[in-house]
């Protein structure tokens, strides 16, 4: 357990927090003293995450939140603010990611709309509902989970467009919220070992070789970055995108390896 207690008394709401990055973030912030509302459309799994946190003597509750529904979001935000006495941190983690059709012209409207609605518009709904409470707290912070897909081509047209939209929303909302005392930032992960990769160990092994640091990410890697950006340690940081990607955007490992195999340097 971390010795830091940067979120003592803070009220935190995390979307898509039943598992993966969201669950790891809930654990990390609660370890540092936060009161965490673990929200997800899967309430049973969210409750498992919250219960595990409570077993360690920390405070967490589970709550249903569908970021695709404005009322669901507003109810969850109001519940967090009332239950914890304040809402100080919002973590936008919920997303949708549909597989690409073999040909772009065959992409269905429904998949495109779903990915953008859950990933981008869902975060917008959460920010809109949470912002008055974050302003009132006097130490409000929003951290959204983006992706390297929003910065470079890794496939998934709709998902990538939505994540790129989150980068832009982070900048524009940061400018709007800064005079009101709220910071807005984004973490852009590379490949992270979550339930989305279950049964795909061979693919993860191949991906590991393409990362300069020699491995894919773990949910705890992303949670640590979220904790930093949400904390007072990042008090003079807003509107930024922090890449937590094992160096994949900085170094083209596949290209380097191809040259090395040819004997070039």
Annotated catalytic residue within 79, 95, 124, 163: 163
Annotated catalytic residue within 79, 95, 159, 211: 159
Q: Tell me whether residue 124 is one of the annotated catalytic residues.
A: no
Are the C-beta atoms of residues 85 and 34 closer than 8 Å to each other? no
* DSSP output for 13-27: EESS-SSHHHHHHHH
Q: Where are the beta strands (DSSP E) in the chain?
A: 11-14, 35-40, 60-64, 89-92, 141-145, 183-189, 241-244
How far apart are alpha carbons 264 and 251 in whole angstroms? 17
Query: Please, what is the angle between helix 43-55 and helix 20-31, to 10°?
Result: 30
Q: Tell me whether residue 159 is one of the annotated catalytic residues.
A: yes
Around Cβ 75, how many Cβ atoms within 10 Å?
A: 15
Are the C-beta atoms of residues 88 and 139 closer than 8 Å to each other? yes
Contacts of 253 (CB under 8 A, 6+ apart): 209, 210, 211, 212, 247
Are the C-beta atoms of residues 126 and 80 closer than 8 Å to each other? no
Are the C-beta atoms of residues 250 and 212 closer than 8 Å to each other? yes
SS3 217: strand
Are the C-beta atoms of residues 142 and 185 closer than 8 Å to each other? yes
Q: Please tell me what DSSP assigns to residue 117.
A: I
128: left (phi over 0), alpha (psi -120 to 50) or beta: alpha
Residues noted as catalytic: 159, 163
């Amino acid at each position: 357990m971390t010795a830091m207690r940067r979120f003592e008394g803070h009220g935190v709401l995390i979307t898509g927090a039943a598992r993966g990055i969201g669950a790891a973030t809930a654990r990390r912030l609660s370890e540092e003293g936060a009161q965490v509302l673990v929200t997800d459309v899967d309430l049973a799994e969210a409750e498992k995450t919250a219960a595990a946190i409570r077993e360690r003597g920390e405070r967490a509750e589970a709550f249903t939140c569908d970021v695709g529904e404005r009322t669901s979001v507003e109810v969850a935000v109001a519940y967090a603010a009332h239950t914890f006495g304040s809402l100080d941190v919002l973590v936008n983690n919920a997303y949708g990611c549909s597989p690409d059709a073999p040909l772009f012209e065959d992409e269905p409207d429904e998949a495109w709309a779903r990915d953008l609605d859950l990933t981008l518009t869902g975060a917008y709904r959460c920010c809109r509902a949470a912002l008055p409470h974050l302003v009132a707290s006097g130490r409000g912070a929003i951290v959204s989970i983006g992706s390297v897909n929003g910065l470079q081509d890794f496939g998934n047209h709709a998902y990538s467009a939505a994540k790129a939209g989150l980068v832009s929303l982070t900048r524009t909302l940061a400018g709007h919220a800064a005079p009101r005392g709220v910071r807005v930032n984004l973490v852009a992960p590379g490949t992270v070992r979550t339930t989305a990769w279950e049964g795909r160990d061979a693919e993860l092994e191949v991906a590991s070789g393409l990362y300069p640091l020699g491995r894919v990410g773990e949910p705890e890697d992303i949670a640590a970055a979220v904790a930093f950006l949400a904390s007072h340690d990042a008090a003079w940081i807003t509107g930024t995108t922090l890449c937590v990607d094992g160096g994949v955007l900085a170094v083209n490992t596949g290209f380097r390896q191809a040259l090395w195999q040819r004997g070039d340097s």
